[in-house]
Chain A
C-alpha cells in the first residue's frame, strides 16, 4: 500500500547546472564501463540532459570558480535563486541582469549592474570565447579537455 515514495523534504537544496552536469558525466562514464543490465530510463534521461547542458556555460566551470564567484557576489545582497541563475546563465548584457534580478532598478545602481557584468566576465569562462575554449562551439567536450590540460 505504501509503495509511493514518502517525500521528506522537496526543497532540500537547489543544484546548479554544473553540479548536475558533473554528476551525469560520472553516471555516463560508469554506465559505459559496466555495460551490464541496461538501465534504459537512466541512460535516456542522462543522455538528453547532458545534451542540453552541453550548450550551457556550465561545461567550462569548476568548483573553485563557482565558490569564488559566489563569494564575490556577497556584497550585492542577492537571493540564492538570483545567484544561481547568474551562475547558470552567465549573463553578458544589462537586459539579462534585469531579467534575472527582481526589481533590479531599485535594488542595484547602474554601476553595480556594470560591476556584476564585469564580475561574470572575469570569473566565469565564456563558452563562445574565440580563445581559451578552443574553437568554441565545435564540441563542448573538446573545450573542457583542453581547459584541463592548460591548468596542469
Chain B
C-alpha cells in the first residue's frame, strides 16, 4: 500500500531558517510542503524518506531566500490495483459503503461491488448482505466502525488546482470542484472479503 517515489523539486529556504543546517532545513520544508497532501497522479504523501542529492543553491535578486534543487524520495500511500486492504466502515449510504483507513477516507465500495444479494436497509441506514444458507437467509449487517477487508479495483485522481476565472455555468462547476483529489474504489464481492467477522469462524 505504500510506495517510494523519487521526485525532484526546487526548495526555497527562507532566511530565518539559515541558522540550521541546510539538510535539516530542506527536510523540514519538504515535509511542510508534501506531508498529508495528495500529489496528482502520485498519491497521498506521507513523509520524506531520504534526500538523494542536493544541487547548488541559488540566490535570486530581490529575494533573500536560497533556492536549492533537491532530489529526494518520498513515502507515498498508493495501493496498487487488486491489492487487499483492511479498513473500517465510515458510513453507509445509497451510493455504497464508505471505508476509512484512519489516515485516508475516500474509499467507496459501490452497491454492485458488494456481496450479492445485498440490500440497503432504509430504517437502519446500513447495507445488509442477505446470505443464503440451506435453512434460509441470514441478514448480515454492515455496521459502522466494523473492520472490513476489500480489494482495490480503481483509483481516481481529480485535478483540484485552481483554474482561471469561471466563464459561465459557475454554479454547476462549483459542485464538481468539491470532489476529493484522490479516491479509491473497492470491491468485496469475493469469498474472504467483507467484514472480518464474517470469515473468522470459517478459518
Q: Which residues of A contact B (CB under 8 A)?
A: 2-3, 5-17, 19-20, 23-24, 27, 37, 39, 41-42, 44-46, 48-49, 51-52, 56, 81, 85, 88-89, 92-96, 98-100, 102
Contacts of A24 in B (CB 8 A): 46-47
**Alpha-carbon distance between A52 and B8 when the two chains are bound, in angstroms:** 29
Whether A15 and B31, one on each chain, are in contact in the complex, defined by CB atoms closer than 8 angstroms, is no
Contacts of B190 in A (CB 8 A): 99
- The answer to whether residues A95 and B202 also contact, given A12-B73, A42-B47, A52-B102 and a CB cut-off of 8 A, is yes
> Within the complex, what minimum Cβ distance (angstroms) separates A71 from chain B?
22
Whether A23 and B3, one on each chain, are in contact in the complex, defined by CB atoms closer than 8 angstroms, is no
Contacts of B10 in A (CB 8 A): 2-3
**Alpha-carbon distance between A102 and B151 when the two chains are bound, in angstroms:** 12
Residue B4 is within 8 A (CB to CB) of chain A in the complex: yes
3 tightest Cβ-Cβ pairs between the two chains A and B: A93-B203, A48-B103, A45-B36
Whether A17 and B1, one on each chain, are in contact in the complex, defined by CB atoms closer than 8 angstroms, is yes
**Alpha-carbon distance between A10 and B34 when the two chains are bound, in angstroms:** 15
Main secondary structure on chain A at its contact with chain B? Answer: helix
Contacts of A15 in B (CB 8 A): 2-4, 75
How many contacting A-B pairs (Cβ < 8 A)? 124
Whether B1 and A88, one on each chain, are in contact in the complex, defined by CB atoms closer than 8 angstroms, is yes
Contacts of B82 in A (CB 8 A): 102
**Alpha-carbon distance between A73 and B3 when the two chains are bound, in angstroms:** 21
**Alpha-carbon distance between A68 and B39 when the two chains are bound, in angstroms:** 35
Binds A, one of B111-119, B124-132, B164-172, B191-199: B191-199
**Alpha-carbon distance between A39 and B9 when the two chains are bound, in angstroms:** 19
> Within the complex, what minimum Cβ distance (angstroms) separates B65 from chain A?
13
Whether B7 and A8, one on each chain, are in contact in the complex, defined by CB atoms closer than 8 angstroms, is yes
Residue B145 is within 8 A (CB to CB) of chain A in the complex: no
Whether B80 and A45, one on each chain, are in contact in the complex, defined by CB atoms closer than 8 angstroms, is no
Contacts of A49 in B (CB 8 A): 46, 77, 102-103
The residue on A at minimum CB distance from B37 is A41
Whether B73 and A52, one on each chain, are in contact in the complex, defined by CB atoms closer than 8 angstroms, is no
Whether B191 and A7, one on each chain, are in contact in the complex, defined by CB atoms closer than 8 angstroms, is no
Q: A5-B39, A93-B202 are in contact. List 10 more A-B contacts (CB 8 A).
A: A2-B10, A8-B7, A14-B80, A39-B28, A39-B32, A39-B35, A41-B36, A52-B102, A89-B86, A95-B203
- The answer to whether residues A100 and B35 also contact, given A12-B4, A12-B73 and a CB cut-off of 8 A, is no
> Within the complex, what minimum Cβ distance (angstroms) separates A30 from chain B?
10
- The answer to whether residues A14 and B102 also contact, given A5-B39, A89-B86, A95-B191 and a CB cut-off of 8 A, is no
B7 touches which of A3, A7, A16 (Cβ 8 Å): A7
> Within the complex, what minimum Cβ distance (angstroms) separates A118 from chain B?
14
Contacts of B4 in A (CB 8 A): 12-15
